Structure 1
Amino acid sequence: MSALTSRRGLLFGTAAVSAGALLAGCTSNEPKSGKPATSDQPAADDKPGKPVTIGFAGPQADHGWLNAINENAKNRAKQYSDVTLEITEGSNDTATQIGQIETLINKKVDVLVILPADGKALTQVGLKAMRAGIPVVNLDRIFNTPQAYRCWIGGDNYGMGLNAGHYIGQKLKDKPEARVVELAGLDNLELTKQRTQGFDDALKNYPNIKKVARQAAEFTVESGQAKMAQLLQAQKKFDAVWNHDDDQGVGALRAIEQAGRDDFLMVGGAGALSAFQAIKQDNSVLKATVLYPPTMAASAIDLARALGQGRGVGGLAEYEIPASITLYSAVVDKNNVDQYMSTGFR
C-alpha cells in the first residue's frame, strides 16, 4: 500500500472507550505537533505475572491516527511491570515491514502485535510467526487467513456508517422530504465501501430521508475542502452531511464556513481531538462524530500480555482470549464528549 492508501482500513449510546473495559472484568497524512491523546482507562490487570516480551510492528506513523496507535501501545505497555515492548520504526513499504517483523521473530519475542500496512501482503509473515510458536495479535487491517493470527482486534467500518446514519435519521425523522449528502473517503478502499453500506442501510429505516449526493475525498484536509465545496455548489439545500473522516472534515468545515452555510448538521468519523473540541464548543455545523478508536492498540497490548501469560481475560468465562474482537463505534456528541476528550488524536 502507498502512504496515501495505508489508511485504517458506532445503534446509539455510549460505549466503553476501548475494548479495555471488556478486558478489565479510520486523520491527516501529515505529521502534526503535539502529543497524541491516549486512553486514560487503567490497565486491565496490573498485578505482575510472568514476564512477557511483546513485539509491536505497525506501519509508518505518517498521520494522526497511526501516531495515536503507537502512543497507545507504548503507554499501555508502560503500565505493566512484567511487559517488555520491542517496537519497530514502522514502514508503509511492505518489504521493509516484513523484514522488521522477521527481526522480531528471530529475537524470539513471546507475542507479536502487528498492524500491517497491507494485510494481504503481510499474511505470510503472520503465518511464519504462528508456525514459529509466536502468537500474533492482528490489529485492525486483517490478514487473509485466520491461520496467520491468534486474535484479531479492530474497528467496525460498517458500524461507523450504520451509527452515523441512525444518528442523522433520529435528528431528521420528523422532517418531511429530508435530504442528506455523504463525504466519503477513498473509494478504492474496502473500508470506505463498508462505511457507505452501513450508512445506506441505516437510512432505509427513515423513508422520509433521501441521500441526494455523494463525493469521495482522499482522507486529507485539502481533498475534504475541495470535495465539500463541490457538494455545496451542487446542492443548494440539504439537511445533513456525513463525513467519513475527521481530518478531511477540517477541510470540509473550511469550505462550509467559506460558503457561509449553516443550514444543516454534520457528523464526522474517527474521533479526532479537533472534532471533539468543535462538538463541545457547539458553534459550527459539526454536531457529532462516530468513533474508530486508536485505543484498540492499548487493548491489543492487554490481549498480547494475556496470551504470553497463558490466561484469558477478565469478564469472560472462557479460559482463552477470544479469536476476534470488533470494537463498537460509539456516537460522540455534546452530551458525552467530555468522556472521550482524552482519547482524541491530533
Structure 2
Amino acid sequence: MLFGTAAAGAALFAAGCTSNESNEDAGNGAEQAGIADDKPGKKVTIGFAGPQADHGWLNAINQQARNRAKKYEDVTLESTEGSNDNAQQIGQIETLINKKVDVLVILPADGKALTQVGLKAMRAGIPVVNLDRVFASQQAYRCWIGGDNYGMGLNAGHYIGEQLKDKKNARVVELAGIDNLELTRQRTDGFDAALKNYPNIKKVARQAAEFTVESGQETMAQLLRAEPKFDALWNHDDDQGVGAERAIKQAGRDEFLMVGGAGSKRAMTAIKADNTVMKATVLYPPTMAASAIDLARALGQGKGVGGLAEFEIPASLTLYSAVVTKDNVEEYLPIGFT
C-alpha cells in the first residue's frame, strides 16, 4: 500500500482507518471482520517509544503520535522519555512490556540493536508497530510503517535532473547525512540512480554531515571552498540545511539551486518566498507517527483498514517522498515541521 503523497497519503490512511462505510464492494464479507473507525470502541493502551527528540523531525514524530492518540476516546498513550542510548531505550520498552500495554509503537534509535526487545514484545503477545527504522527480523514486528529513503534520493535526483536537463556539463554536489546510517546510503544510492538518466549531469562532490545545524554549516562551507561553481545541491536533511544555508549566505553564492530533505516548515516557507537558492524539499513525513497510532489502535481492537479487502492490516506501509516546490507548497505547509 503506497501513499501517493505525504499529505494525501496520511489523509487517505486516516480515512481508511476511520471509514464508517461498509466494504460491500469487496465481495467477500470483509465488513463482518470490522473496520476501525472514529467511534469509541474497545479501550486500547498503546506504548510509544522513540529516540530522544534532539532533532526537528524526531520532535515532530513525538507530536504527531501524541496528537493522534488524543483524537481517540478509547486510546491511552503510555510514552517513554526517549533515548539515543540503545540500552536505555531497551529498558524503557521493557517497562512498557511489563505494564502489559496492548500494542507497542517503536521507533528504535538503532533497528538492529533493538531487534531482540521487539521479539520479546511479540513473544509476550504484544503486537509491535515498527516505525521507520526497521528491526533486523520481521518476527520482531507485526507491521512496519516508514519513509522511503531510496525513493527520497531518487525523487531529489529526478527533480534536479529535470531542472538541469538542458544545461551542458551541469555539475551537482551532495550534502549527505550520517554516513554510518543505512538510510544515508539509501538516499545517496537513489540520488545516483536518478542522475544516470541525465548524461549531461555529473556529481562532482559529496560530503557527509551529522544532521545538525552546526555540521551542516561547517561541511557546506568546505564544499563551497572545494567547488567554486556548481549548478545544484541536494541536502539530505532540512535541519542541517539551516547551517548549510548560513554557509551559502556567508559565501555570497547563489549560482545554484538547492533541494532539501524531510520537509521542514522553514524550508517550505523559503520555497514559497522564492528569494533564495532553496527551490524544493523532498518529504520524509513525520505524519507516519500518526498513522502508526491508527495502526496500533486497529491492531488492539482486532480490526482492519477500510478500503482493503483483507481482514487484517498490511504487514508494511511505505510512504511516498513527494517533492515540494513553489507550485504545490501551499498544500504541504500544514504538515511542515518546526
TM-score when scaled to structure 1?
0.88
Q: Is contact 2:104–2:127 with CA below 8 Å preserved after alignment?
A: yes
Q: Which has the higher helix share?
A: 2
- Give 2:179's aligned residue: 187
Q: Paired residue for 2:241?
A: 249
- Which is worse superposed, 132-141 or 311-320? 311-320
Residue matched to 1:134? 126
Residue 56 (structure 1) aligned to one of 44, 48, 61 = 48
C-alpha displacement of 1:66 = 1.1
Kindly provide the CA deviation profile for residues 25-48 of structure 1, in whole angstroms up to 9, marking residues without a partner as x: 3xxxxxxxxxxxxxxxxxx83122
Shift of 1:16: 3.4
1:24 and 2:15 correspond: yes
Return the alpha-carbon distance in structure 1 between the equivalents of residues 241 and 84 of structure 2: 24
Name segments (4+ residues, structure 1) moved above 6 Å.
none
Cα distance in 1 between the residues matched to 2:125 and 2:328: 43
1:207-222, aligned counterparts within 5 Å?
207-222=199-214
The 3-state SS of whatever aligns with 1:16 is: helix
1:176 deviates by 1.3
Separation (CA, whole Å) in 1 of partners of 2:87 and 2:227: 45
Residues 46-76 of structure 1: CA deviation (Å, up to 9, x unaligned) = 1222111111111111221111111100000
Range with bigger deviation, 221-230 or 235-244: 221-230
Aligned-residue offset at 1:15? 4.8
For each residue in 1:211-261, what CA deviation from the matched residue of structure 2 results, as whole angstroms up to 9, or x when unmatched?
A: 111111111112111221122122122110101111111111111111111
Q: How does 1:36-115 map to 2 (within 5 A)?
A: 45-115=37-107
- Aligned ranges 1:1-346 → 2 under 5 Å: 14-25=5-16, 45-346=37-338
In structure 1, distance between residues paired with 2:10 and 2:307: 11
Give the AA of the match of 2:7: A
The one-letter code sitting in structure 1 at the alignment partner of 2:100 is K
Q: Identity of aligned pairs, percent? A: 83
Check 1:85–1:342 CA distance in 2 against 1; reply closer, same or farther (3 A cut): same
Deviation at 1:20, TM superposition (A): 4.5
How many residue pairs are counted as aligned between the two chains? Answer: 316
TM-superposed CA distance for 1:304, in Å, is 0.3
Q: Which has the larger radius of gyration?
A: 2
CA contact (8 A) 1:18 1:293 kept: no
Aligned partners of 2:233 and 2:204: how far apart in 1?
10
**Change over 3 Å in CA distance of 1:17–1:91 after alignment to 2:** farther
Is the Cα–Cα contact under 8 Å of residues 23 and 315 in structure 1 kept in the other structure? no
Structure 2 CA distance, aligned partners of 1:218 and 1:129? 32
8 A contact 1:161–1:194 mirrored in 2: yes
Per-residue deviation at 1:17? Answer: 4.7
- Structure 2 segments unaligned to the other structure (5+ residues): 17-35
Amino acid at match of 2:150: Y
1:30 matched residue in structure 2: none
Partners in 2 of 1:241 and 1:298 — Cα distance? 31
How far apart in 2 are the matches of 1:60 and 1:194? 23
Distance 1:330 1:237, change over 3 A: same
Q: What TM-score comes out, normalization by structure 2 length?
A: 0.90
5+ long unaligned stretches in structure 1 = 1-12, 26-43
Task: Kindly indicate whether the alpha-carbon contact (under 8 Å) linking 1:158 and 1:198 is maintained by their aligned counterparts in 2.
Answer: yes
> SS of 1:322's equivalent?
coil
